[in-house]
Structure 1
Amino acid sequence: MFKRLSKLLIIVFIAVICFVPSAWAFCGFYVSKADAKLYNKASQVVIARDGKRTVLTMANDYQGDVKDFALVVPVPVVLKADQVRVGESKIIERLDAFSAPRLVEYFDEDPCETNYFNDSLRSAQAPAPTAQESVSRRRSDRSLGVTIEAKFTVGEYDIVVLNAKESNGLVTWLNINGYKIPKGAKQLLQPYIRQKMKFFVAKVNLAEFDKSGYEFLRPLTMAFESPKFILPIRLGMINSTNEQDLLVYILSPKGQAELTNYRTVNIPSDADVPLFVKDEFGSFYKSMFQNSYTKENKKVAFLEYAWNMGSCDPCSAEPLNPEELRKAGVFWLDSSVNSNVFLTRLHVRYSRDKFPEDLMFQETANNQFFQGRYVLHHPFNGEAKCDAGKQYQRSLPRRFEQESQTLAKLTGWKIQDIRRRNNVPVSSSIPWWRRFWF
């Protein structure tokens, strides 16, 4: 699909006071997040969708000489210059930071003073070729079964939109015209040709790229109307034998977006884990995701976040403001209020044998909130001389063991190693036998 799609250390955090008015009032102090940077080459796509209208943004995480860059995306309609623009990488980073799975922490209060509950499109027209060149090229293109439906330059990208009758001719045309297409493309292009889809093809205009002053390629955003709510992923498998990570951020005025042709499951969440996870949350989350992925037979998409953009609890980043949402493709905003923008974050780890079809979505009216959230509970470390305090201290070993068991189950890590590391600060008020417990 996309030759590789891209991959504020979060600023501050607010102590939230909660009265738990509903099941989704999580509260706690935000500590860390599991964002796209955890994965070496995580593709990221933003889809803003309302009815048949779609704004699709793809982040290019291309590594290599930009002159060799080639992006081929099947699209349902012919795109014109005013339907394509260069996006901002920062907007995708903001969506990632806002929706990333998060680690939060609580601090137990003095059990002698409280009731303790142990709840486990700016565009420029490309220069026209000479008349003689145009006639010669059109004849060659027709012989290959390829028609150029549109041709233009946007920012640092030269873009053509192609119609093709068969994959051999399309691959030949791409190679003749300087697009480096990897082996195996013919087989994966043919299904799109049968569906009468067009091909959005981009390469870098080196002169424009040098003038832009940007070190990396910027995202490309395209807007179109189609009853098909799909994301082509098969072309992304051409030159990779390994599994690939894809993060999809879907923005809708209605509610959650769902896959219709693959099963979607919630990532394990709301788990109490040992305190040492704070120093290695990234390693924890990667192990947990891989473990969950393996248990699901590698055939599911994981829901990592679903929330209305007007709020968050706890916040791993500030919600995007209306101007940022418009840059992300949200075209239905008519005020300064973000409450009619619902964000769904799906994490797909895919390979050719486990995901043989493109991703097909549907909008729903499901407004249920969800987030990947993992909790640290710091034990009270002061004097606790009352009966409730003594009972609290006696309950801690059982709590630590439960945290250890939970971590082992989530990650597949060895329980003996977890127990050895799951220590707590020793206070003079803690009984001697607890000081040697692990």
Structure 2
Amino acid sequence: IRQNMKFFVARVNIKEQRKTGFQELRPIQIAFESPKFMLPIRLGMANADGPQDLIVYAMTRSGRVESSNYQTVKVPSDVEVPEFVQQEFGHFYKSLFAKSWREHDHRAIATEYVWNMGFCDPCAANPLTADELRELGVFWLANQAGPAGPAGPFRGGGVPVTLTRLHLRYDAQHFPEDLVFQQTGDQQNFQGRYIIRHPWRGTSSCTAASAYREQLPVRHRQEAETLASLTGWDMARIHKRMGDDAPKPADPTWWKKLWR
């Protein structure tokens, strides 16, 4: 109230909501103008029991969005991890995020994704179409359309839309202020990338194949160490999940070989 801010409470008719066929409530979309580029979070902590997670998607004309009153860091990225992570990616990423959050004293905001919607080289999914961007409130595209038509994706670069995804885990102790954002001029694309290299398991006995198999244990050991560093997982657990790819124990010293 002292900041001349307003909030509203939505009353939901459960019977009518069930008729829509959706299990979750559809989002409420509002539009307003304000000189403040911020997001109030303190009110939501009044009755909170422990930390809460918040995902923020911000779309701007000219660049990445970051917090101006809290540290903004990029999630660890571009690292090689063991093959089994593909089947446990959700658990892996939760552990990675939690460890990074603890390492930054529970106060940092993580940048998970930054991308210009004009091109895709490479990206995990197609950029949002012109119609999708307008539905999300990108009002400055009102008179623009992509080469593929109003609903088609933009191509060729130069599109004035940069999408930023921020992820924070917050509580009253570590986030005493509401979030304040700022738009930067940074348009460098970024996404959390975790590389999985599937080893060749053929039976060829040529020189190249033998050399390849000899270097695999070194690679697998590095992948296991990287995974432990990213997540804090116990190395014995990682080796168990790696199965036959787990690094083998080092050979005993020469004198142990003599008398065993």
Coarse TM-score class (shorter-chain normalised): 0.7 to 0.9
> Shift of residue 211 of structure 1?
7.9
**Amino acid paired to 1:410:** L
- Counterpart position of 2:144: 335
Residue matched to 1:213: 19
Contact 1:299 1:355 in 2 (8 A): yes
* TM-score, normalisation: structure 2: 0.83
Distance in 2 (CA, whole Å) between partners of 1:206 and 1:288 is: 39
Deviations 1:270-306 (A, max 9, x none): 1111111111111111111111111111000000000
Unaligned runs of 5+ in 2: 147-153, 250-260
Q: Which amino acid aligns with 1:210?
A: E
Partner deviation per Cα, 1:98-155 (whole Å, 9 max, x = no partner): xxxxxxxxxxxxxxxxxxxxxxxxxxxxxxxxxxxxxxxxxxxxxxxxxxxxxxxxxx
- Answering whether residue 41 of structure 2 is matched by residue 230 of structure 1, we say no
Give CA-to-partner distance per residue, 1:395-436, whole Å, 9 cap, x none.
1100000000001111111112212322358xxxxxxxx9x9
Matches within 5 A, 1:236-385: 236-333=44-141, 334-337=143-146, 338=154, 339-385=159-205
Provide the rounded CA distance (Å) in 1 between the counterparts of 2:242 and 2:120: 30
Map Cα deviations across residues 325-348 of structure 1 (whole Å, 9 max, x no partner). Answer: 111111111322343211100001
CA shift digits 1:137-183 (9 cap, x unpaired): xxxxxxxxxxxxxxxxxxxxxxxxxxxxxxxxxxxxxxxxxxxxxxx
Give the CA RMSD over aligned residues: 2.3
Which stretches in structure 1 are left out of the alignment for 5+ residues? Answer: 1-192, 426-433
Say if 1:393 and 1:265 are closer, same or farther in 2 by CA, change over 3 A.
same
Equivalent position amino acid for 2:59 in 1: L
Query: 1:401–1:220: structure 2 CA closer, same or farther, 3 Å change rule?
Result: same
Q: Distance in 1 between matches of 2:185 and 2:16?
A: 46
Spell out the pairing of 1:103-114 with structure 2 (5 A cutoff): none
Q: Name the count of aligned residue pairs.
A: 235
CA distance in 2, matches of 1:382, 1:205: 59
User: What amino acid is aligned across from residue 421 of structure 1 in structure 2?
Assistant: R
Counterpart of 2:10 (choices 203, 206, 210) is 203
* Structure 1 residues 228-255: Cα deviation after superposition (integer angstroms, max 9, x where no partner): 1000111111111211000000011111
Note if contact 1:255-1:342 (Cα within 8 Å) is conserved in structure 2: yes
Task: Give the drift of 1:206.
Answer: 3.7
8 Å contact from structure 1 (residues 401, 419) kept in 2? no
Deviations 1:297-318 (A, max 9, x none): 1000000000112233544333
What is the TM-score with the length of structure 1 in the denominator? 0.50
Higher strand share: 1
Is 2:197 the partner of 1:388?
no
* CA distance in structure 1 between the aligned counterparts of 2:244 and 2:35, rounded to whole angstroms: 56
Partner deviation per Cα, 1:68-98 (whole Å, 9 max, x = no partner): xxxxxxxxxxxxxxxxxxxxxxxxxxxxxxx
Greater RCO, CA 8 A, separation 6+: 2
Change (3 A) 1:390 1:329: same
How far 1:217 moved relative to its partner?
2.9
State the alpha-carbon separation in 2 of the partners of residues 420 and 377 from structure 1: 18
Match of 2:255 in 1: none
* 1:254–1:340 CA contact under 8 A, matched in 2: yes
What percent of counterpart residues are identical?
48
Contact in 2 for aligned 1:260/1:360 (Cα 8 Å): yes
